[in-house]
Amino acid sequence: MLVASASPAVGSPCLRRSPGRGRGRGGARFGMTAARSLSVSVVPILKKLQRECATPLPVLRHVADAMAADMRAGLAADGGSDLKMILSYVDSLPRGNEKGLFYALDLGGTNFRVLRVQLGGEEDRVVATEFDQVTIPQELMFGTSEKLFDFIASGLGKFSNKEGGKFHLPPGRKREIGFTFSFPVKQISIDSGILIKWTKGFAVSGTAGKDVVACLNEAMERRGLDMRVSALVNDTVATLAGARYWDNDVMVAVILGTGTNACYVERTDAIPKLDGHVSTSGRTIINTEWGAFSNGLPLTEFDREMDAASINPGEQIYEKTISGMYLGEIVRRALVKMAVEGALFGKSIPHKLLTPFLLRTPDLCAMQKDESDDLQKVGSVLYDVAGVESNLGARKVVVEVCDTITKRGGRLAGAGIVGILQKMEEDSKGLIFGKRTVVAMDGGLYEKYSQYRGYMHGAVTELLGTELSRNLVIEHSKDGSGIGAALLAAANSNYEHDF
């Protein structure tokens, strides 16, 4: 996950508030003169923001077309576009006939999650699931590769020792694992991948340049565990697999949360860079890494300032425009300018408001859901989170800013989805737009922010038109990546499913 730098925010030192200008939380409003002068000074900034964030149909069409073109260029050659278009080597997707006991291991941050699932074939499907979460000690995040993977193997061992009840492994079989590894990896097969570098606060020595699956398999052998990794995947690919198990029409998976990514099912004959890999199904999943997309996005001074202050300037521009980590920070920067140049919150600017990444997406969501006459919830969030005292006029402006940034983010995400579908349709006339097609969605931003979700759906409908939109289903696949990894282990199992 990208971490923003603590560079100073736009703003000025806090000024002393004049006596009598303050108010309690959700309390008295300013007089008409103050409200009128507030609107006069702030409106030009707000209008400029809305103009620069506008996503009319021509802008959405350009983004969708550019996404499709960049996908094609990324499939032609590594480095051919901003989109990496990574081969997942997932050629066998779950079909619903899988049987047996399978495990999943999800390593993507300071915790790792282990899960087991008993599959009963087409009749019984998922018989039972169990999971556990283990916190990784901080010293192991800076230790050696052997110690980290030994700790993970130990956690797997303790979890597998609790196996019982509805969970049973047929005699003579190894337990098979789907390994979700959310760090930069160059995948070389379905069950192997070379670590490029650690991110998210990890600085483990002795792993970069090595096969992470081999590291885990060796650690399990040292612990005497009769387990092996049969599928190495990222969380987006696992989400697609989890949704596909229940619905054969799932062709795309998108994660919209703190970060964002998308993957889709691609024909192998449409991948020029495939370099000899043969797929028995003629299809494979492509991990687009679409957060790196940047072509034709409507950006503001606040986006550029935030990007310049980040740890990866000039990178992940689409992600910085549409994902949950950044929406609140863009709003905060806009509010600081309005406070400094337009006295949005009166004569003083609270120090807290100058703190980078102080406003989070859940704060925006809470403020946008406030339908009270005096916008009391908006006032409470501003006061509790940023130490800001506000009148009704200021609160209305804040809601407008939140809506402007959220609307742009949701509509651009919708354009990206249509771009993926367009690319698929161009190669398979009528096989995407001509029939029912499902996009599986996961992530807290999509799940919990109804305004964002509505704007995203609206953009998709606007781009496709009413008739084609009827064939497209955007379906929430909550926590699908965990069971999806186990299902990919089953789909790529060394054993038959006919026992």
The strand pairing partners of 228, in sequence order, are 176
CATH number, domain of 257, equals 3.40.367.20
The average confidence (pLDDT) of the chain is 88
In terms of domains, do 330 and 422 share one? yes
pLDDT in tens, 13-49: 333 333 333 333 333 333 333 344 455 689 999 999 9
In terms of domains, do 117 and 202 share one? yes
Q: Is residue 49 part of a domain?
A: yes
CATH number, domain of 109, equals 3.30.420.40
pLDDT of 123 strictly over 90: no
In terms of domains, do 229 and 354 share one? no
In terms of domains, do 132 and 210 share one? yes
Greater model confidence, 392 or 32: 392
In terms of domains, do 273 and 419 share one? yes
Q: Average pLDDT of 68-91?
A: 95
pLDDT of 124 strictly over 80: yes
pTM: 0.87
Q: Is 369 a catalytic residue?
A: no
pLDDT in tens, 315-326: 999 999 999 999
In terms of domains, do 33 and 49 share one? yes
Q: Is residue 240 part of a domain?
A: no
pLDDT at 385: 96
Buried b (16+ CB within 10 A) or exposed e, 426-454: eeeeeebbeeebbbbbbbbbbbebebbbe
In terms of domains, do 338 and 466 share one? yes
HSE (side-chain half, CA atoms, 13 Å) at 64 = 27
Q: Is residue 488 part of a domain?
A: no
Instruction: Report CA-CA distances (Å) from 479 to 33, 192, 442, 468, 485.
Output: 51, 24, 7, 28, 11
d(CA 361, CA 379): 16
pLDDT of 459 strictly over 80: yes
Q: Is residue 372 part of a domain?
A: yes
Q: Out of 70, 150, 191, 235, pick the active-site residue.
A: 235
Asked which of 186, 207, 233 is the last residue of a domain, the reply is 233
Lowest mean pLDDT among 54-58, 165-169, 382-386, 478-482: 478-482
Q: Average pLDDT of 427-447?
A: 90
Percent of the chain with pLDDT over 90: 72
Lowest mean pLDDT among 231-245, 304-318, 320-334, 475-489: 475-489
Domain that holds residue 139: 89-233
Q: Is residue 38 part of a domain?
A: yes
Number of Cβ within 10 Å of residue 355's Cβ equals 17
Q: Out of 162, 166, 197, 200, pick the active-site residue.
A: 200
Nearest to 292 by CA among 4, 61, 66, 54: 66
36-40, 362-366, 386-390: which has the highest mean pLDDT? Answer: 362-366
Asked which of 233, 265, 290 is the last residue of a domain, the reply is 233
d(CA 182, CA 68): 25
In terms of domains, do 327 and 462 share one? yes
In terms of domains, do 302 and 366 share one? yes
How many structural domains are present in the chain?
2
The strand pairing partners of 134, in sequence order, are 112
pLDDT at 497: 56
Number of Cβ within 10 Å of residue 134's Cβ equals 16
Lowest mean pLDDT among 36-50, 55-69, 190-204, 315-329: 36-50
pLDDT of 7 strictly over 50: no
Name the pLDDT band for 350 (thresholds 50, 70, 90).
Answer: confident
pLDDT at 327: 98
In terms of domains, do 79 and 99 share one? no
In terms of domains, do 398 and 295 share one? yes
pLDDT of 336 strictly over 50: yes
In terms of domains, do 279 and 385 share one? yes
Helix locations, 170-299, DSSP H:
212-222, 235-246
Nearest to 344 by CA among 303, 400, 398, 305: 398
Q: Is 247 a catalytic residue?
A: no
Name the pLDDT band for 134 (thresholds 50, 70, 90).
Answer: very high
Nearest to 413 by CA among 439, 386, 379: 439
